[in-house]
Structure 1
């Protein structure tokens, strides 16, 4: 792209942080500058929060970008990307904001660098409204591997929402050749599994979660592992429930929050997995949203998912603005949605 490349105008009112993160990734990969107004306009606290600001600054660093409006609370941002540079990077959110969302912002860009990269991100590793580390490891990255991506991640230290202090690291190699993505069947069932991650809180909280989730899923209580995250600098608790198939893995989660009972945390995660298992579609609703951008970069593909969220529709429309692709949604069977990218 040249200096005369027109700047893309984007309204961030309805997309939340996802719209900003996808815009940053796509801008870096395509070289297309953008202006986003009304950032997170429908949120109770509009504008850039710490984790969004970290995404912006991190994207600017790996892509040698010029940025206007990169400040806490800013509701308008202008981002002009330069050349993506591979290397060793370290970013600290400065709060318990999500490290996994920062990683997902940088990953597409660093796949297009000329050399490999290592990334260290400090903040929250297990947050409400964000994929927990286990989701990245077991659900997200394996899908990217099938598209020709060579990347791996590691949980160095657990960090919960308020205190932060968690660390994830990643190694990313330039993609040699993208492969089109196709996932329409789960394949044979392999296993179900569960874990409660627990730090510096009364142990009965974890026990109540295990009993609630196992009852709803009709699992024996010992099927859900209890792990004490004593390395966490602050208190926290997270429930993960998973189902692994030959072609895909799905994890649903619940993160403890002030004012939310143990039973409510576990019930949300258990109902999520139960809903997924009741469908035949391989891709869960959150993973569907996260696969759109890599699938488009890979030149297209198709997958079946359980439902289409507003996030997913907004993300599809945004990707079509940056890349020469079109998404189509069909319903090949009751309760199954097919997303095709051409």
Structure 2
């Protein structure tokens, strides 16, 4: 039984989700205490509880402590079962994070699976659906498994109500080496608005154009006609020869549209100037894939809290080694070895 202190690292839900994923893949039971101790509302919230229940369903696990606000969890997996699954968060909590909890296990299951997930699809502090389909899943496919996702309806915080479908055709994960980004072949800024004035999207895109120099043809507005509640999402997509990165900002009440756009544009600017293939959010997810493949490498920006938490969590379940080597002031080469 592996024992994990959930307050370590960034002290949020990532250490829980990564532990669940690795427990399913390796068959290793664990007990976690101080769950989300670093957050203003510690313990299991709805989306974390949904992730636990989803992992239990996929892995036929015995679970203790799976209840709202619980700060201790014991998880004993049996074997991963491919199949048809439906997981609903029940609130605006992120459904994409629920997917990322169970997907690693299903990538190497004994047969194909389909999933229907409901909840938030475009949430702050979570990978939005567009990031999954344009940045993350293409790399999964490069490593062997075939995973496709389709959005039925978006769900924004705080109303939720989103829904998407995922099909998984498993295959052994092969190591991936992503050291060069290659030439940037396409850039696109999309301002999505639902029950929000059209002017908000226009102001965001104008700011992107002014800040990054992106042309009018590289900026577009997407209006969502039907949604459970209002939402505003600004996504900057940078497609290069070897990888696509997506940077996202979320409109909030009381925050100027220009401020939202400036923050996202700054993320994209830092990434583009560093000339690395992998940004900080994709780094977190790619680290887990390479750990499961027991090999690979990529170049990215200096590691931040979430990536360091991933590496600390790996040590509880695997013997993979991760090294970080400075290549330039803003460039790090990450190597994963089994």
The normalised TM-score by structure 2 is 0.97
Report the counterpart of residue 331 of structure 1 in structure 2: 326
**8 Å contact from structure 2 (residues 301, 330) kept in 1:** yes
Report the counterpart of residue 99 of structure 2 in structure 1: 103
Q: 1:82 is matched with which residue: 78, 84, 98?
A: 78
Report the counterpart of residue 227 of structure 1 in structure 2: 222
**8 Å contact from structure 1 (residues 84, 112) kept in 2:** no
Report the counterpart of residue 313 of structure 1 in structure 2: 308
Report the counterpart of residue 3 of structure 1 in structure 2: none
Structure 2: distance between partners of 1:18 and 1:336: 24
Report the counterpart of residue 4 of structure 1 in structure 2: none
Structure 1: distance between partners of 2:129 and 2:106: 19
Structure 2: distance between partners of 1:219 and 1:142: 25
Q: Secondary structure at the match of 1:16?
A: coil
Report the counterpart of residue 94 of structure 1 in structure 2: 90
Structure 2: distance between partners of 1:51 and 1:163: 14
Structure 2: distance between partners of 1:253 and 1:302: 25
In the TM superposition, what is the alpha-carbon distance from 1:112 to its structure 2 partner? 2.5
Tell me: CA distance 1:15–1:300, structure 2 relative to 1, closer, same or farther (3 Å): farther
Gaps (5+ residues) in structure 2?
none
- Note the aligned Cα RMSD (angstroms): 1.1
In the TM superposition, what is the alpha-carbon distance from 1:59 to its structure 2 partner? 0.5
In the TM superposition, what is the alpha-carbon distance from 1:168 to its structure 2 partner? 1.3
Structure 1: distance between partners of 2:184 and 2:84: 39
Q: Map of 1:18-33 to 2, 5 A cutoff? A: 18-33=14-29
Deviation by residue 1:210-269 (Cα, 9 ceiling, x = unmatched): 111211111234421101111212110100011111101111110112222211211111
Give the number of equivalent residue pairs.
Answer: 335
**8 Å contact from structure 2 (residues 108, 173) kept in 1:** no
Does residue 131 (structure 1) correspond to residue 127 (structure 2)? The answer is yes
Structure 2: distance between partners of 1:179 and 1:222: 37
**8 Å contact from structure 2 (residues 278, 300) kept in 1:** yes
Gaps (5+ residues) in structure 1?
1-6
Report the counterpart of residue 11 of structure 2 in structure 1: 15
Q: Map of 1:24-63 to 2, 5 A cutoff? A: 24-63=20-59
In the TM superposition, what is the alpha-carbon distance from 1:49 to its structure 2 partner? 0.8
**8 Å contact from structure 2 (residues 11, 39) kept in 1:** no
**8 Å contact from structure 1 (residues 47, 75) kept in 2:** yes
**8 Å contact from structure 2 (residues 149, 167) kept in 1:** yes
Report the counterpart of residue 245 of structure 2 in structure 1: 250
Q: Secondary structure at the match of 1:86?
A: coil
Q: Secondary structure at the match of 2:13?
A: helix
Q: Map of 1:188-267 to 2, 5 A cutoff? A: 188-267=183-262
Report the counterpart of residue 166 of structure 2 in structure 1: 170
Does residue 70 (structure 1) correspond to residue 63 (structure 2)? The answer is no
Structure 2: distance between partners of 1:100 and 1:277: 26
Query: Where has structure 1 moved over 2 Å in runs of 4 or more?
Result: 220-223
Q: Secondary structure at the match of 1:41?
A: coil
Deviation by residue 1:175-196 (Cα, 9 ceiling, x = unmatched): 1x32111000001221111101
**8 Å contact from structure 1 (residues 147, 178) kept in 2:** yes
In the TM superposition, what is the alpha-carbon distance from 1:199 to its structure 2 partner? 0.3
Structure 2: distance between partners of 1:140 and 1:191: 17
